[in-house]
């Protein structure tokens, strides 16, 4: 019996992008049945405030309905099934309309998180436990063997909770410097988390997440958020079992500007083009070393409390003098204590620690703290931050050269970049940023392969 793959695509203002993604899906060479769920969505009040997005969504739905014979639901229903066998031998599209008048999101429940939750929960109502849900974006490209590569990954590890798929942003949309900066930020974070052996070593991208239906049900589904929903869902998966890092093919998300979500690629590029990278800093490797040191101290922490920066931060966050004594009482052996520790010291807590430590290390000057109204003070603050970013990248390149370079094939990265001499990332030539991004990508792929027990080829 053929496996069934369910592709979940939220779509808002995607009329110009979804057809290319659908063409990539129709070209898939995979031994599976393919059901593509698309939730065209927007807040209801966009009919007054954002009519251009409403028109784009109308065109998206018209495009989908023209893909094949369709069977609309009841007059009050929001679901339409479209037979797409003329495009792909075994494919149907299910259109979920949360865009037409009267069907848009109401109140505070809206955004890409709500759209993904709507898609996932529509899928699990009909899918079998082992069927795969492929979370994708409407402007993401995939190669012809992508779905088959996912099938292979889960056949090799059938008990895995999820797969965080490797990614690579194509260049050429006029935002090359910003997307390279953003990827350098993401890959430095991920490589450091892999380096210290964190169970939360993942990059959260909604277009690069795959999981069996049973996993979604086991973690109790997802909590909708206007953005960041992929981060919290992956964190849930990590707490319940194995999350795979390696897949033979990548996804290629778009590097377009977007304000549709509160944070993520689109907003990062908009801020980055203005020179604002405060939300996406390159963290110094020494901060991750503090987290690793806490991991190394867990056998001692199992016996008694310890003072250590990450542990002290956690105690302050939990507002407890000793958050570890209840764990010692409830988990009588070290392996269970360690697992309980990681439940508390999760990906969110690590990220909060990194941000707090970075702010403490580079506090604003007294004049900057008084007021941010002065353009001069804003420029001073930005300059100090950008210099800190550049220093952190220099430190990361040195650490990664020692730790990950031995995993690389010598032909993959012919000339290893081990230092960053510029005072700001913005001063570096695009060619250098391309070289650094490629090097970090190859290191990350090698580290993902190693973490998943794959032999490098």
- Same domain for 435 and 332, yes or no, is no
Number of domains observed in the structure of the chain:
3
Same domain, 351 and 390: no
What strands, in cross-sheet order, belong to the sheet with 209-212? 69-72, 79-83, 91-98, 33-41, 4-11, 132-135, 209-212, 162-164, 243-244
Report how far residue 145's alpha carbon sits from residue 123's, in angstroms, rounded to the nearest whole number: 23
Residue 368: alpha-carbon gap to chain centroid: 33
In this structure, are 341 and 422 located in the same domain? no
Cα 398 from Cα 254, distance rounded (Å)? 30
Which pLDDT tens digits describe the chain residue by residue (457 residues)?
A: 678 999 999 999 999 999 999 999 999 998 889 999 999 999 999 999 999 999 999 999 999 999 998 877 655 568 999 999 899 888 999 999 999 999 999 987 778 889 999 999 999 999 999 999 999 999 999 999 999 999 999 999 999 999 999 999 999 878 899 999 999 999 999 999 999 999 999 999 989 999 999 999 999 998 876 567 889 999 999 999 999 999 999 999 987 655 555 556 666 666 766 777 778 899 999 999 999 999 999 999 999 999 999 999 999 999 887 899 999 999 999 999 999 999 999 999 999 999 999 888 765 544 444 333 444 444 555 666 678 899 999 999 999 999 999 999 876 777 899 999 999 999 999 999 999 999 999 999 999 999 887 644 3
Q: Structure pTM?
A: 0.90
Is residue 271 one of the residues assigned to a domain?
no
User: Are residue 17 and residue 150 in the same domain, yes or no?
Assistant: yes
How far, in Å, CA of 38 to CA of 26, rounded? 14
- Based on the fold, state whether residues 236 and 317 are members of the same structural domain: no
In this structure, are 47 and 191 located in the same domain? yes
Please give the residue range of the domain that contains residue 432.
366-451
Same domain, 217 and 350: no
b or e along 35-48 (b: 16 or more beta carbons within 10 Å of the residue's beta carbon)? Answer: bbbbbbbbbbebbe
Query: What b-and-e string marks burial along 172-190, b requiring 16 or more CB atoms within 10 Å of the CB?
Result: eeebbbbbbbbbbbbbbbb
Strand bridging mode 132-135 / 4-11? parallel
- Do 105 and 211 lie in a common domain? yes
Rounded Cα distance between 349 and 317, Å, is 8
Domain match, 339 and 375 both: no
Token pair listed for 160:
């895995």
Structure tokens belonging to residue 86: 């003329």
302 and 371 in a common domain: no
């Amino acid at each position: 019996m053929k496996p069934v793959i369910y592709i979940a695509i939220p779509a808002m203002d995607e009329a110009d992008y979804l057809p290319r993604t659908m063409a990539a899906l129709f070209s898939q060479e995979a031994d599976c049945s393919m059901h593509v769920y698309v939730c065209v969505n927007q807040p209801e009040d966009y009919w007054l405030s954002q009519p251009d997005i409403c028109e784009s969504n109308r065109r998206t739905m018209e495009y989908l309905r023209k893909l094949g014979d369709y069977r609309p639901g009841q007059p009050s229903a929001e679901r339409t099934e479209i037979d797409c066998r003329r495009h792909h031998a075994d494919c149907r599209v299910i259109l979920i309309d949360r865009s037409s008048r009267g069907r848009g999101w109401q109140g505070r429940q809206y955004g890409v998180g709500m759209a993904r939750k709507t898609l996932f929960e529509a899928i699990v109502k009909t899918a079998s436990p082992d069927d795969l849900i492929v979370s994708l974006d409407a402007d993401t490209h995939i190669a012809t063997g992508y779905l088959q590569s996912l099938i292979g990954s889960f056949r090799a590890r059938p008990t895995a909770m999820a797969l965080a798929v490797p990614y690579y942003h194509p260049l050429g949309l006029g935002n090359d410097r910003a997307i390279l900066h953003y990827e350098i930020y993401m890959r430095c974070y991920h490589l450091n988390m892999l380096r210290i052996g964190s169970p939360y070593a993942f990059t959260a991208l909604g277009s690069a997440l795959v999981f069996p239906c049973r996993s979604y049900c086991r973690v109790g589904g997802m909590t909708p958020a206007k953005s960041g929903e992929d981060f919290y869902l992956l964190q849930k998966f990590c707490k319940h079992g194995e999350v795979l890092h390696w897949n033979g093919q990548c996804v290629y998300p778009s590097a377009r500007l977007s304000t549709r979500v509160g944070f993520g690629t689109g907003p990062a590029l908009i801020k980055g083009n203005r020179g604002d990278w405060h939300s996406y800093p390159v963290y110094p490797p020494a901060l991750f070393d503090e987290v690793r040191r806490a991991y190394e101290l867990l056998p001692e922490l199992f016996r008694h409390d310890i003072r250590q920066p990450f542990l002290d931060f956690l105690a302050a966050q939990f507002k407890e003098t000793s958050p570890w004594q209840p764990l010692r009482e409830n988990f009588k052996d070290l392996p269970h204590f360690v697992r309980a520790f990681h439940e508390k010291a999760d990906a969110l807590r690590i990220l909060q620690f990194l941000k707090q430590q970075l702010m403490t290390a580079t506090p604003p000057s007294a004049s900057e703290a008084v007021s941010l109204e002065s353009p001069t003070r804003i420029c001073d603050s930005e300059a100090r931050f950008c210099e800190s970013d550049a220093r952190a990248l220099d430190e990361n390149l040195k650490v990664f050269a020692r730790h990950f370079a031995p995993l690389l094939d010598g032909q993959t990265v012919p000339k290893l970049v081990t230092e960053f001499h510029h005072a700001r990332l913005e001063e570096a030539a695009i060619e250098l940023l391309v070289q650094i991004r490629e090097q970090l990508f190859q290191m990350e792929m090698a580290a993902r392969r190693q973490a998943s027990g794959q032999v490098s080829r």
